[in-house]
Amino acid sequence: MTQNQGQILVVDDNRLNRIKLAHGLEQQGHIVALAKNGQQALDMLRQQSFDLVLLDIVMPEMNGYQVLEHVKGDEALRDIPVIVISALDEMESVVRCIEMGAEDYLAKPFDPVLLRARIGASLEKKRLRDQEQAYLEELRTERERSERLLLNILPKPIADRLKQGEGIIADSFEEVTVLFADLVGFTPLSAPMSPTALVFLLNGIFSTFDRMTEQYGVEKIKTIGDAYMVVGGVPTPRPDHAEAIAEMALDMQSTLDQFRVDGDKPLHMRIGIHTGPVVAGVIGTVKFSYDLWGDTVTTASRMESHGLSDHIQVTSATYERLRDKYRFERRGVIEVKGKGKMTTYFLVGRKGS
Amino acid sequence: MAERTQADANDKHLPSPACPDVLDPAALKNLRQLAAGDVGLLTQLIDTFLEDAPQLLAEIRRAVEDEDAPALHRAAHTLKSNSAEFGATALSDLCRELETMAQANALDEAADRLAQAESESEKATGALKVMRYSL
């Protein structure tokens, strides 16, 4: 079918008009269906697809206005163009139909040249509208896909700001809680495994942690090899950032027991936590990610690296915020690289549990 | 433009209106152009008119007698349109008057117009029958 030929529904109670229109339209290469009344027209419109409707106004039972009202009120039908057929002395009715959404009109008796021109123009407009709809749909799908990808690497408020044109994002946070977790001796343990099996295991563990971040409302920053970094109170500040991270740490620790290396060997983890100010944001232009900067990050990392296997080591800053609700064991004063002497604690559980 | 030329050529094969007083040549020319030399279609259109016109007149008569304005409106509307197709202008005009009366629900003069319409219809169908048999 060429682009200017279409499937046309002729709705007219007058047999003479139907015969004439059907003939004229078929001569012009269109495929024509005929309806004797409004109800039949609506039934046909709902059963098969049409490119154009030629609609008579004066009909018994359901007249042209009612058909038009149904068509324009129906999500699935409203885009089908309707050309109203009318006698020359019915201009008022034509105006009413056009106000109701009809595309054009044809005066009776029909002028074959005008018939061809109006139908050709309507079908062309319909074709362009259909094409535009298809493009818009494609565009929407593409946008959704890129949106999903962006939200995988950036928190939503940050993604929104970047989209609005902010080049560099660097926000200061007065107080957040940062957690580092490291799988102890993971490399030697996993030596007998194939690289693929290793990544598969790591993916299982970290995906479990990822789901926890959603549960506790904390932000995963990144994984570094077999280490996992997460923060509470960023990018949306919350007063209970330390509690959220403590809950996450305890859950991570107990969940690790579900995983085994090489069939039966259990895994061990060191967790370190510190509370303090950070700068959070996005810098660079390619392969950018949301990251944290500041001494708080270094200290949290040291708590992990200077910690003990299967223990959650926290600084006194974190301990002070959590001591009322959680149980701790005082580790004592340790020498921390680049920091000097620090008093640290081990988080062992919730109070009353 | 080829179409026009063809339609003009068709005029040679199709008879002129038998009764120019009754049927407007301009409307007939339009019909011939649409039919584009298809005698079968012209015959079918005339037959449809000849079949439907008496039924529509009977419907108009019934509606006038019953003072059924909506029925009168529809039947007069259809006959107005059909007679205009064949250039039966006088009949078409009378039907338009009946249609307007029905719309205004003022049927006082309807019976009078109906009688005129019946007489005009006789003339128009007569002219179309002559035309049909000379196709």
- A61-70 in b/e burial notation, b at 16+ Cβ within 10 A? ebbbbebbeb
Six-digit token string for B4: 């026009």
Is the domain of A215 the same as that of A179? yes
Rounded to whole angstroms, what are the CA distances from A324 to A64, A351, A353, B94? Answer: 77, 8, 13, 100
Is the domain of A175 the same as that of A122? no
Burial class (CB in 10 A: 0-12, 13-18, 19+), A208: middle
Could you tell me the pLDDT band of residue A353, with boundaries at 50, 70 and 90? low
* Average pLDDT value for residue range A124-131: 90
Domain boundary among A110, A145, A180: A145
- The answer to whether residue A1 is domain-embedded is no
Q: Which of B101, A319, A215 is nearest to A230 (CA)?
A: A215
Q: Which domain holds residue A219?
A: 156-350
pLDDT digits (tens, 9 = 90+) for A167-224: 788 999 999 999 999 999 887 777 788 888 888 889 999 999 999 999 999 999 999 9
Q: Which of A186, A195, A221 is nearest to A292 (CA)?
A: A221
| Cβ–Cβ below 8 Å for B38 and A23 | yes
Helix B25-35 vs helix B39-66: crossing angle, to nearest 10: 130
**Residue that the structure tokens 């309707």 belong to:** A82
| Cβ–Cβ below 8 Å for A109 and B30 | yes
Give A8 to chain B, closest Cα distance, Å: 18
Contact A12/B at CB under 8 A: no
Is the domain of A31 the same as that of A62? yes
Q: Does the structure show a pLDDT above 90 at A30?
A: yes
Give B87 to chain A, closest Cα distance, Å: 9
**Which residues from chain A sit within 8 angstroms of residue B38, using beta carbons?**
23
Q: What is the ipTM of this complex?
A: 0.79
The pLDDT mean for chain B works out to: 84
Domain boundary among A103, A118, A145: A145
Domain boundary among A120, A145, A170: A145
* Average pLDDT value for residue range A120-133: 90
Question: How many angstroms separate the CA atoms of B105 and B102, rounded?
Answer: 5
Secondary element (H or E) of residue B109: none
pLDDT digits (tens, 9 = 90+) for A227-272: 999 999 999 999 999 999 999 999 999 999 899 887 788 899 999 9
Is the domain of A249 the same as that of A322? yes
Question: How many angstroms separate the CA atoms of A59 and A317, rounded?
Answer: 84
Is the domain of A160 the same as that of A286? yes
Is the domain of A278 the same as that of A344? yes
Is the domain of A44 the same as that of A167? no
* Average pLDDT value for residue range B65-84: 93
Is the domain of A67 the same as that of A115? yes
Indicate the pTM of the whole model: 0.59
| Cβ–Cβ below 8 Å for B44 and A19 | yes
Question: How many angstroms separate the CA atoms of A346 and A328, rounded?
Answer: 5
Residue A147: its pLDDT value, please?
86
Residue A320: its pLDDT value, please?
96
Q: Which of B135, B111, B122 is nearest to B53 (CA)?
A: B122
- The answer to whether residue A217 is domain-embedded is yes
Question: Measured between CB atoms, which of A14, A24, A27 is closest to B81?
Answer: A14
Secondary element (H or E) of residue A181: strand A169-183
Residue B20: its pLDDT value, please?
52
- The answer to whether residue A297 is domain-embedded is yes
What proportion of chain A, given as a percentage, has pLDDT over 70? 99
What proportion of chain A, given as a percentage, has pLDDT over 90? 63
Give A10 to chain B, closest Cα distance, Å: 16
The CATH number assigned to the domain holding A164 equals 3.30.70.1230
SS3 per residue for B30-48: HHHHHHCCCHHHHHHHHHH
- The answer to whether residue A151 is domain-embedded is no
Is the domain of A111 the same as that of A191? no
Is the domain of A283 the same as that of A330? yes
Total domain count for chain A?
Answer: 2
